[in-house]
Structure 1
């Protein structure tokens, strides 16, 4: 169904294979990749009440020595090659650093920022969790050739209920970004 929809959209928009190849070769800024990845995050979280934080995501330096798993599977896969990426990862939140990400959140009616986090963690009276899941993601680290990216993500739904991971993204031939694997960073 997804492929049919994409094909139909390509026909309607007049896209051709040559145009797709040109799009895929166009360099992306970290904010462009973040805005594209946000669509995937919103789709993954569609059945959950959530908000976005805009504080720094603790990314640190890129370490691919951990275990990497295929996206949505328990199958181990090779991690990204660190030689393909610049040396330093950003600790900045994509929400805080990218106007395009905030505009997209506004368009979808998704709350973000300090006030949204404060409202989410307000006492619910049941001691079970937050009023909404708090999501955050870093500015992506993009490979030198612009075909891969790594982003740190976090999801917290209770004081002791959260996880963070690195997501390895690859740019598809149609120019869109797709998460292909992940490596856990922390869990509580």
Structure 2
């Protein structure tokens, strides 16, 4: 079995200090450091090409091996921006949207291919880390385990939340969620 830890980027600056690419705030660096101290090591670290994703991995204490362009999980006419936060069973709702086989399903498959490529590059028993974005991670999680009990998965991923996926025979076979709020209640 190989392991893939997928995490949402950390907290970003707001307002006029946000800047292009939404750089991490001081609280975001502190959160990433705390979360990073309890995870790893990793044979491979891949992030979105967005500065906030790269900065999250570095603040966690991991060198980035590669950056990848990752499409947004917010898809016109299917998933409005941040809609998952208003849904009672967000992962079940995403599964229903993906089953329709439209644009959101294609985005999920794109992310799933990136995830599989990332973890396939580590040795048996090894782990990889991928830092991405809210909205897109949830889509790929559902696509990675299409027959799971999605209604039991809880809330969407907040900053630095993640999931650890088992990968064997070119397929994801298990998931365990990790909530940053359990380690960083602030």
Query: Which interval holds the TM-score relative to the shorter structure?
Result: under 0.3
Q: Which has the higher strand share?
A: 1
The higher relative CO (CA closer than 8 Å, separation ≥ 6) is in 2
Instruction: Compute the TM-score of the two structures, normalised by the length of structure 2.
Output: 0.26
Higher radius of gyration, 1 or 2: 1
